[in-house]
Structure 1
Amino acid sequence: MQNTFGQSRAALAIYELLNPVPLGFFVAAWIFDILYLKSYQIMWTEAASWLIAIGLVIAIIPRLINLVQVWFTQRRLATPAVKIHFWLYLVAIIVAIVNAFVHSRDAYAVVPLGVILSTIVVVLLLIANVQLAVRPAVVQGETL
């Protein structure tokens, strides 16, 4: 089924369902990195590495849907805020991939780079979501 904008309702539903989930995983990983920094309990850094990996897997699906809809099928509806959101999320995913490799090292080698990378990921995702939330609404190609 297609809506009035030509977007697949199923793709839009999957995007809306999965898009906020990675932020929760990355924020939890960031908190666990901070806890490890304060306590040096290896459990925290191992849990953070799992959260980063799961967040990355879930983050890729909405980005692929967004890539197709914004850059290929819905170019006329792609506002600058939507494009900035896409690029900030993409950069955050790349930083999270680097962070996953950092977390694959020995637990003592994770600090402080793991905390720094986790902080960068969370900040990028928050900026992406906030700037998208304050954008002007677009209905059938016209700004409200």
Structure 2
Amino acid sequence: MTPTGTARRHSGLALALYGLLNPIPPGFFIAAWIFDIIYVYSYNSLWTLAATWLITFGLIISIIPRLINLVHVWVGANLSQTSAPRVDFWLNVLVIILSIFNAFIHSRDAYAVVPQGVIISTLVVLLLCVTNIQLALRVRQTYEG
């Protein structure tokens, strides 16, 4: 609530940018995970190089949606500490932190990426699945409630 007693409105442009850019980084991270799995079976170093670029692009593009989400969750409407947007925010922050470590692992020689790179890529994809399931349940509650 603002000092005048009216609910705070969020910027339409910010919400549009968030809706446009938020689904892109998971695509990059999932593609990097698939490329890591392909590398495990083929040992063609091209796959780890491509995975490195995908992780990097995913991290770069994830900056804007996370900043918008930060303002929306922490400055916006008064939400309880355990609300779905806050859980979504923290899960995405954890995905970004793991992806940063993953980018450093993938910057090594191709043979040094396995198994740590594959394990972290798998953890990132699992966290993305949990985040999207949580988001789907939140949308479902919005429509039912």
TM-score scaled by length of structure 1 = 0.89
Aligned to 1:41: 44
Aligned to 1:137: 142
Q: Specify the SS of the correspondent of 1:75.
A: coil
Q: Deviations 1:25-53 (Å, cap 9, x if unpaired)?
A: 00000000000011000000000000000
1:99 to 1:64, Cα distance in 2 relative to 1, 3 A: same
Q: Is the 8 A contact 1:36 1:45 kept in 2?
A: yes
Aligned to 1:99: 102
2-structure distance, mates of 1:100, 1:85: 22
Q: Is the 8 A contact 1:70 1:77 kept in 2?
A: no
Q: CA deviation at 1:89?
A: 0.6
Instruction: Return 5+ residue gaps in structure 1 as ranges.
Output: none
Q: CA deviation at 1:75?
A: 2.5
Q: Which deviates more, 126-135 or 12-21?
A: 126-135
Residue 13 (structure 1) aligned with residue 16 (structure 2) = yes
TM-score scaled by length of structure 2 = 0.89
Aligned to 2:91: 88
Q: CA deviation at 1:77?
A: 8.2
Q: Deviations 1:95-137 (Å, cap 9, x if unpaired)?
A: 0000000000111000010000001111111101111111221
Over the residues paired in the alignment, what is the CA RMSD in angstroms? 1.8
Q: Identity of counterpart residues, as a percentage? A: 58
1-structure distance, mates of 2:38, 2:133: 26
Structure 1 segment 74-85 matched on structure 2, within 5 A? 74-76=77-79, 80-85=83-88
Instruction: Return 5+ residue gaps in structure 2 as ranges.
Output: 1-6
